[in-house]
Amino acid sequence: MAKKTEERRQRVGIDVGGTFTDFVWLDGGRLTVHKGPTTPRDQSRAIVDGLDALGVAGDAAVVHGTTVATNALLERRGARTALLTTEGFADVLAIGRQNRPHLYRLSLRRPPPLVPAAGRFEAPERLDAHGRTLIPLDETAVERVAERLAAEGIESLAVVFLFSFRNPAHERRAAEIIRARCPGVMLSLSHEILPEYREYERTATTVINAYVQPLVARYLARLDEALGARAAAQGRPPGTRRVMQSNGGAIGLRQAAAQAARLVLSGPAGGVVGAFALAKQAMNTETPEIITFDMGGTSTDVALCPGAMPHTSESVIAGLPLRLPTTDIHTVGAGGGSIAHVDAGGVLRVGPESAGADPGPVCYGRGGERPTVTDANLVLGRLHPDRFLGGSDAVRLDAAAARDALARLGRRLGLSPEAAALGVLRVANATMERALRRVSVERGHDPRAHTLVPFGGAGPLHACDLADALGIRRVLVPPNPGVLSALGLLMADVVYDASHAVLREAAALVEDPGPLREAALALGASVREVLRKDGFAEIALEVRLDLRYAGQSYELDVPLGTPLSGASVARAVAAFHAAHEKRYGHARADAPVEVVTLRVRGAASVAPPDLPAEPPADADASVARLDASPVWFGGEAPTPTPGYDRDRLRHGHRFEGPAVVFQYDTTLVVPPGRSVRVDARRNLWVER
Amino acid sequence: MDPILIELYRHRFSGVADEMGVTLRRTSYSPNIKERLDFSCAVFDGAGGLVAQAAHIPVHLGAMPASVAAALAAFPVWRPGDVVALNDPYEGGTHLPDVTMISPVFLDDAGEAPRFFVASRAHHADVGGMTPGSLPLSTELYQEGLIIPPVKLYRAGVRNDDLLRMLLRNVRTPEERRGDLAAQRAAHTVGERRLRELVARHGAEEVLAYAAHLQAYSERLVRAAVAAWPDGAYAFEDALVLDDDGPAERVPIRVCARIEGDAVTFDFTGTAGAVDRSFNAVLGITQSACYYVVRCLAGEDVPVNAGCFAPVTVTAPEGCLVNARPPAAVAGGNVETSQRIVDVALGALAQALPGRIPAASQGTMNNLTIGGLRADGTPYAYYETIGGGMGAAPDADGLSGVHVHMTNTLNTPVEALEMTFPFRITRYALRRGSGGRGRHTGGDGLVRAYEFLAPATVTMLSERRDAGPWGLAGGAAGLPGRNVLRRADGSEETLPSKFTRRLLPGDRLRIETPGGGGHGAPEDGPPPRT
């Protein structure tokens, strides 16, 4: 309990991005935000520097979002990795699903597999679909593989045998043999990493783990040491240290190092956790229904939270399937840097090409010549040349150059520069709208019932237009949209997920839930054990089932009530029919249902802090008012539009659109017809 | 026409088709649909013009308009809730396993006629006929399964249960069919709902106008691309090989590609007549193959709709191999002949565009159907296709172990398959060194080996077993494929490219698929490092 109280007082969320490392420090009732330059060679250096700059005590709890695993994978800088498979199946990793990545290209390249052919070994062994041994494990073959691993300086080995999720004996025995002969080689066993069927997906996920694990383990050890040394220098015991996982929960360093693949998609998860936690407090409910909209320079992430954090087990990274529980985020490759052009058919297109950060948009003045979405926003007065990134001299925007670029585009379309710029925004927003529809309408959720939470550098610029397109009435803009991921780290529960392949008819389990109960108990115990080792005793377990109609290939997950009984399984089946109806528009109440996977999630709440609140000021927002400037919202002429300084907006302030709200790292555009109010935590509510 | 709205409607219409596809995939039962993505969904205007298509495999490209046309011809009157089903290759279909469903979309404002149609085509795992999986070595259409001319499976929302019973009684796996048909209808429901929402938001006039503008836009893009090709007539010939019955017989396919300004004609005059085997293709397939080639060269970001195909003319003599007439058998035309049509079209255009055309890819889908009884006595039918080598391009090696050209279906996971069917996979590997050498090397084929646990009827439709896919510009041909049967008694036999065999427990079948052709003479210099 003491630990928890301490955590409530002193906690830092640290999110490492490509350029900046963001800090959000909760010190008693006060939140402090800090940005420092990222140190790509050793991310922990920026962390220590930032903690020093802020003056955070060495015993403060640190929750960290790291891109070490992600970058290792995307940049192919992982460990020297080998793969051991059932004889006859070493190439499964290279073949994948035997489809080509693009249908209509006569010339294709694809990245080489994470493990080259020379590192893919086989051992005679085979189980049948029930896990019965058909061919016993050839132990001498495994011994020979161990010799090769040692000879070739392999750091990490993935072991994937067919049907090991039914019976892990062969994988375990192979691991014993390798461990005895090559104690330095890290092992990733498929029945531990992903005990689910589909050999390619399990192989890829296990190999990803093997590939990133040594780097992640070394990095976390370094971080642990650096934070320990920092605390020791202050004569304090080190505080707890955790890292964010892809599932939106934090986990201790030891466990994170053991299953490094669980960190690979943690980057965008922090933002969704932050948005969800913030919405809980802002909306005063445990089950806020929100859609998050994180628009950056080159890509945009959207997620729908239907009163809970959304999860999926069907992610893809670097062209490889990653079948671990992940925050369900849909990403589109479009952002502020997307380039607008007129195609051979005379139609305005935006993207997929991006100006990225270098040269960046035309208005950055770094050599970009083709107009981007950011340039269009500038031409329309939605960005202010002198107020970008807090008006720093480093990035004064060149409005004239942007206008010239849009004028050239406009001439090809027979439009004025402003009309062309409005077109660019409409087309860019169509891509965003499609992404938002994908996570809402296409999954049976009505976007109109949700609150849109924009963040990232460009999210608030586009949020109201998108809200209008989707019929969303309320937009919630966090106080610091640029560091929401770091805030998410601060707010995240400690979470550990485990799964078990069931693959049985639901009716049989309603009749006799015994096997399911046993499996759930065993999974629950292992989840508790993992969290106990990280120092957590109070753990809430959530049990879910992945169900499908027998014969389908895709599952929907539903909660399984405890205590686990035939009746609770029957209720889960009923919930599945309803979920199928909601998502796909039809259900087959008379068709047999199959239980595919049992999932147990253990969560140790670390008592998310209350975000600081303030008493209301009066409603007059004029203290924050800046000069009016012309802003285009459509039509033939710009509208004189007042600006507001976000830093001076206080609880209780209200104003009407049109308006533009400026702050350090983002700009909010409020079109006519929407009004803004500031709540106790200085969130902006933009409502129609 | 507003150049900005065009782009918005591209997103809107393709979004409708995509969402239909997601629904169909995730709720279907045939491995062909849910695991292998052998299906397409599309939106048509009221006149039957294709507006948008979500196709996962090119053999469906532009082939569904014929289905809608056939349905419109069969039924002059439509009512809300109607669903027409068909698979008749000579009335809007391609081959019998591909069942196409078509639903009208009525708008509240409009009168009698539907303003849109939504349609889906899915490869069902079995529709009856002489062998499980319905891809037999047939000699006439009637042997290939249940022929469904355009019929109303639903009238005004009410299912025709008599028809459904009749249909299900004629297939080996009726419950799977029932589920797949329901999944197709669910996809239509989604498509219809989305179109009505579009109209509610933007007005019928605008939505309908842009359905037409979008087609004109695609046509402009394709014409602009073709106009850049050198005018001329370019001829090429390749062949199928029929070897299942007696000495191997070569069946030539000839094409002359004529590029004239911004249009291109593929004329198949000189192609062999229809054969008494299942490798005949209806003209719709020949068109799809040619459309595929043009689309690859025109750029994949051209929205797929009727406009794309306007600049492309495909002609073939009535009754020839690539424009079959009833009752010619067609099961393999869709899957094998279509690949060879692509090869000849590319071979012809390689003379016009030598820097852009790759060597021949594996040129087959290696269609394997397996059927029999499970241990509990229930019948099963399983179909899969096996990837191979992709031809090397002028600027890149070919990919290994992938599906090429007219298909892109996924494999079925071994762990999914062995849970359901009484056979096992004992090897699934790259066939190293099978790609043709060249400045750029052809992709390697695959090896897939099966062990049978119960008696099964196995049918193989494959190609490129006698000679490998050709190289280009001095590149070598890829290795031909091989089909090898090892009986439980240890005897081994190399089987022809096309066969049906009754296999027994303990028998093993090993399929080696062709490598892709190489591009450029190897002595031009070492291939650049990739």
Q: Which of A92, A107, A431 sits opposite B428 (nearest CB)?
A: A92
Contact B34 A554 (CB under 8 A): yes
Contact yes or no for A554 and B35 at CB 8 A:
no
Kindly give the residue spans of alpha helices, DSSP state H, lying in B316-356. 338-352
Q: Is the pLDDT of residue B296 over 90?
A: yes
Q: Count of alpha carbons within 13 Å of A83, Cβ hemisphere only?
A: 30
Which letter does DSSP use for residue A48 in this model? H
Q: Is the pTM of this model over 0.80?
A: yes
Q: Which of A553-562, B121-130, B219-228, B236-245 is predicted least confidently?
A: A553-562
* Record: contact A427-B8, CB cut-off 8 A: yes
**Mean pLDDT calculated for residue range B48-72:** 87
User: What pLDDT is stored for residue A393 in this prediction?
Assistant: 54
Q: What is the mean pLDDT of chain B?
A: 93
Nearest one of A253, A261, A255 to A213, comparing CA atoms: A261
Nearest Cα residue in chain A from B442: A107
Residue B229 has pLDDT above 60, yes or no: yes
Q: Which residue has the higher pLDDT, B270 or A29?
A: B270
pLDDT exceeds 60 at position B168:
yes
Residue B245 distance to chain A (closest CA, Å): 31
The crossing angle, in degrees rounded to 10, of helices A459-470 and A417-439 is 70
pLDDT for A333 equals 87
Cβ-based neighbours of B315, under 8 Å, separated by 6 or more: B265, B266, B267, B268, B269
- Token pair, residue A10, equals 């002193």
pLDDT attached to residue A2: 42
- Specify the DSSP element, H or E, that contains A54: helix A43-54
Q: Inter-axis angle of helices B174-202 and B204-227, to 10 degrees?
A: 100
CB A284 within 8 A of CB A445: no
Residues of A in contact with B221 (CB under 8 A): 343-345
* Strands lying side by side in the sheet with A120-123: A120-123, A81-86, A156-160, A186-189
Mean pLDDT in chain A?
A: 92
Lowest mean pLDDT of A31-45, B258-272, B359-373, name the range. A31-45
> CA-CA-CA-CA torsion for A222, A225, A229, A235, nearest 10 degrees?
150
Cα–Cα distance for residue pair B173/B379, rounded to 1 Å: 7
User: Judging by DSSP bridges, how do beta strands B312-315 and B263-267 pair with one another?
Assistant: parallel
Contact B415 A162 (CB under 8 A): yes
Closest by Cα among B328, B428, B326, B323 to B368: B428
| Interface touch B7/A104, C-beta < 8 Å | no
Inform me whether the pLDDT recorded for B38 exceeds 90. Answer: no
- Sketch the domain layout of chain B as residue ranges: 3-215, 358-530
Sign of the alpha-carbon dihedral angle for A265, A268, A270, A272 = negative
Domains of chain A with CATH codes? 2-73+217-259 (3.30.420.40), 78-214 (3.40.50), 267-335+429-481 (3.30.420.40), 339-424 (no CATH), 494-604 (3.30.1490), 621-674 (no CATH)
Q: Of the candidates B11, B28, B408, which has its C-beta nearest A434's C-beta?
A: B11
Q: How far apart are CA B378 and CA B369, in angstroms?
A: 17
Nearest to A110 among B395, B399, B432 (CB): B399
| Model confidence pLDDT, tens digit, residues A224-258 | 999 999 999 999 998 889 999 999 999 999 999 99
Q: Do B416 and A588 touch (CB under 8 A)?
A: no
pLDDT of residue B269: 98
Cis peptide before B247 (omega within 30 of 0): no
Looking at beta carbons, which residues of chain B come within 8 Å of A95? 387, 401, 411, 428-430, 446
Per the CB < 8 A criterion, the answer to whether A454 and A463 are in contact is yes
Element at A209 (helix H, strand E): helix A199-233
Q: Which residue of A has its CA nearest to B38?
A: A99
What would the mean pLDDT of B99-112 be, rounded to a whole number? 86
Which residues in chain A land under pLDDT 50? 1-5
